[in-house]
Amino acid sequence: MNKKRQLLIDTALSLFYKKGINTIGINEILQVSGVAKNTLYNHFSSKEELILAALE
């Protein structure tokens, strides 16, 4: 798996567990992970897709 994709999944999962899925936005995931928005959308078409990948 791509390192940036895995970093996004790991960051999202950590934030979702700490604060809840509904309270975490894409911008917070990007800020914590240090990944650019374009990179996120190259791997995931939406927040929902990122949520599903994190929960797998």
* Residue entry with tokens 């894409």: 26
Residue 28 lies in a domain: yes
For CA atoms 19, 20, 24, 28, give the dihedral sign.
positive
pLDDT digits (tens, 9 = 90+) for 8-24: 999 999 999 999 999 99
- Kindly state whether residue 56 falls inside one of the protein's structural domains: no
How many domains, in total, are found in the chain? 1
Given pLDDT bands bounded at 50, 70 and 90, which one contains residue 1? confident
Q: Which amino acid is at 48?
A: E
What's 34's domain CATH number?
Answer: 1.10.10.60
Q: Which domain holds residue 8?
A: 3-50
